[in-house]
Each structure stands twice: as C-alpha cells, then as structure tokens.
Amino acid sequence: MQRVPRSQMEAHRKDAVEQRAELEESTRQALNKVCGGHSVQKAAAMISIPKATLQGRYNSHKNLSDDQKLSACLSRNHSFVAVFSPNEEAVLAIYLITALNMCNGLTEPEARKLAYQYALANEKKVPQA
C-alpha cells in the first residue's frame, strides 16, 4: 500500500470514498444485468468489474428477499457492533480519564474488562469474541 503524506491525506480519503461509491454503483448495475439474464462473466466484462467480485456479490444477493435486495449495501462491510450508546460511552471515557488523572490508570486489558463489566451491569447485548 502506498504511503500518503499527511498534507494529502484528506484528498486521498475523498478519492477513496468516491471510488468505493463508483464500485458500488457499477456492482449494482452488473447485478441488474445478471438478474436480467446475462451471465456473470458477460456482465462483469460489460461493466468492467472483476468477475470474482461480481460472483461473490451475486451469490450473497440471490439469497436475499425482494425487500432486502432493494436496500442491500453492496460495498465492503467492515462494520462493528456498537454496544454502548454515545452517552454511555462518554460516561465510561470520563471515568477512565478521571482514573488516569488520579494516577490510577488501567492497562488496556483492564480497561476492556471494565467496559465488559459495565456492559453486563447495564444488561447490554455483548457480542461473542
């Protein structure tokens, strides 16, 4: 991966966001062609996207219901599950900062354990590790 100087990071990030949006739109067009009867290979060639990408998206797309197909996100899905609300997260952050300022800081594993205990105490749904 090419390193980008700090002065150019914002412009580089905007370019990457635009490229992902274009890939999502072209993938949607190619999926429409495949659903319309074209083969995956022909649709990928017509839209100029990798065949393997289109095949993977089509395999996951064909198992969705009609309502889900309309709203399906076709971009990469590197998501995470938010356990805490923004307010709860702020309270936890303030607690950790206060403990740090009192020379009672926690190590990273201890802070994670504290956050886990806080989630259990508030009866939050905690994802499996």
**Could you tell me which of 108, 49, 87, 107 has the C-alpha nearest to residue 40?**
49
**Residues 15-49: tens digit of each pLDDT:** 777 887 788 888 888 888 888 888 989 998 998 88
Band (94; pLDDT cuts 50, 70, 90): very high
| Domain boundaries, given as residue ranges, for the chain | 6-71, 86-121
For residue 116, what are the contacts with CB-CB under 8 A and spacing of at least 6? Answer: 126
Q: Are 58 and 34 in contact (CB under 8 A)?
A: yes
pTM of the model: 0.46
Mean pLDDT estimate for the chain: 79
